[in-house]
Amino acid sequence: MLALALLLAAADEDLPARLRHLESAAAAWAPAPSSDGTRIAFLTTLFKTRQAASVAVDGSYPTQLTDEPGGVVEIRYVPFEPGQLVAVGLRDGRRRILRVDEEGGGPTPVDPAAGDQILGGFSRDGKKLFYAVLNGAAVSLRSFAMDVKTTSEIVPPPPAAGTQTASDSLPLADALSGLFALGPPSPDGRSILALVRRSGSEAVVLADLASARGNVLISSEKPARFRQPRFSPDGRTVYVLTDAGRSTMGVDAVTVQDRSRKTVHAPAGNVEAFAVTDDGHRLAVAVESNGQDVFSLLDIPSLRVQPLAVPPSGALADGGLIWDRTGERLFFGWRLSDDMTDVWQLRTGRGTPLRLTRSPRPGLRRDEIPRPSLVHAGDGPAWLWRPPQGTKPRVAVLIAAVPTRPVFDERIAALNFAGLAVLAVNGQGAQKAALAYLRSAQDLDPRDPLLLDPDGLEVEDPSRWGGIVTGPGHRRSGLELDPDRPDLRALVRYARHGATN
């Protein structure tokens, strides 16, 4: 007992330093290669808040591109304009599209219009940027001429123009109602794809830029998700990630002319992301398997599948899969269980993936970061992170709107270092399953469990929890944490003392 007490006392003394190390750690994700393939831009927390940076693909020190007080959520290179980028920054809680020069200088807003600005993509020659402005219920589709720096709204042609419209098309304001994602434009620049959410389901809309009208390209009678639409190089086919008509996400192909749809790749696990090469001959997919992701490469049109090498066991980060223009290199952000999220590249035919960024974790060795174990709670799998000390720890239960993956999370690491275990349970009935698991676990303390509810899901029985932690804006919780820069000291303090007072 004396040895155990000394061990716990030593852990408490190390805790402030470990929390400081976690606060100094960073991540990098959402890669965007330049047209010539020599540089890669990405999002990072290396500069504390979420900003954009870039590095040479062959290796260099990161160049900070933005310093937005509200952070940055997207970054892309302007095609065929070396050193020029566009970013989406948060200003006064609104998404604003900004022009960024890699050589320095303040970001320049593309459009002063009020509302959220949704980036859609560039024309093939890079001379025109398409985007949408959401202001309340109003939707406006616009373009920005990169050379003369002028903005114009996509409006119907005058009646005298004699433009014919499809019988099932709608004005853009109606067709884009419920817009939540825009782009990319078609290869010929005549239309643009959009994702809308209406009546509890989602749909893919094809907007014609000449007539300023749109129609639904693909939808579902039952609730379904549609993500990451992409044109084939000839513009005749749209690839999209969807679970319409099945229980998992897969890649479908939709013929633009007759809207016929066929399955391209729908394995047993969810397809997390996909990317089509610019020549349209190959399709890369990331598929979830036992909480982690594996890569495959499909030849088009044969759809012959071959495995691709992946980094050490982990999962894809936000930003998906991105091919370079030659189709030789695949870029992606990768999350590991015991290290920081970073940008990687995979060169086809070269085997081992290469880590392009190495985000800092000062003062923390990889073997000091607890790794999760797969357990079963209720009818499904769950993940359990145990603290380094060999005690019977109290537990924090993590629930989320999307399944928790067995990868590094600074909130989980902070609680582990403070002596708490973390149990992540996914799916329907997660709270009941977690409580039942704690009652049956012999090596965990089931008393006063903490509930981590970052997405603000409904808490079925608040009295069963010793405390509740949510994201911002959920007033029923005992503690609110910022998802990007969580106050780890406040989390540990609440878990140890405030939650049970």
pLDDT by residue for the chain (501 residues), tens digit each?
444 444 444 456 689 999 999 999 999 999 999 999 999 999 999 998 999 999 999 888 899 999 999 999 999 999 988 999 999 999 999 999 999 999 988 899 999 999 999 999 999 899 999 999 999 989 999 999 999 899 999 999 887 655 666 667 899 999 999 999 999 999 999 999 999 998 889 999 999 999 999 999 999 989 999 999 999 999 999 999 999 999 999 999 999 999 999 999 999 999 999 999 999 999 999 999 989 999 999 999 898 998 888 889 999 999 999 999 999 999 999 999 999 999 999 998 777 899 999 999 999 999 999 999 999 998 889 999 999 877 899 999 999 998 999 999 999 999 999 999 999 998 889 999 999 999 999 999 999 999 999 999 999 999 999 999 999 887 677 899 998 889 999 999 999 986 555
Cα radius of gyration (the chain): 24
Pick among 3.40.309.10, 2.120.10.30, 3.30.420.40, 3.30.930.10: CATH of 150-266: 2.120.10.30
Burial readout 321-339 (b: 16 or more C-beta within 10 A, e: otherwise): bbbbeebebbbbbbbbbbb
DSSP category for residue 316: E
Domain locations along the chain? 2-21+363-500, 150-266, 267-360
Amino acid letter for position 380: G
Residues 6+ apart with CB under 8 A from 26: 44, 45, 46, 340, 359, 360
Distances (CA, A) of 275 to 162, 240, 280, 483: 39, 10, 10, 28
Residues 317 and 320: their CA atoms lie apart, in Å, by 7
Q: How many CA atoms lie within 13 A of 57 on its CB side?
A: 18
Query: 262 near 251, Cβ under 8 Å?
Result: no
Sign of the four-CA dihedral 216, 220, 226, 232: negative
What confidence score (pLDDT) does residue 348 get?
84
Q: What is the pTM of this model?
A: 0.92
Residues 253 and 231: their CA atoms lie apart, in Å, by 9
Place of tokens 């330093």: 17
What confidence score (pLDDT) does residue 391 get?
82
DSSP letters spanning 463-476: GG-SEEEE-TT-TT
| End-to-end Cα, the chain, rounded Å | 27
In tens, the pLDDT along 474-500 reads 767 789 999 888 999 999 999 998 655
What confidence score (pLDDT) does residue 200 get?
85
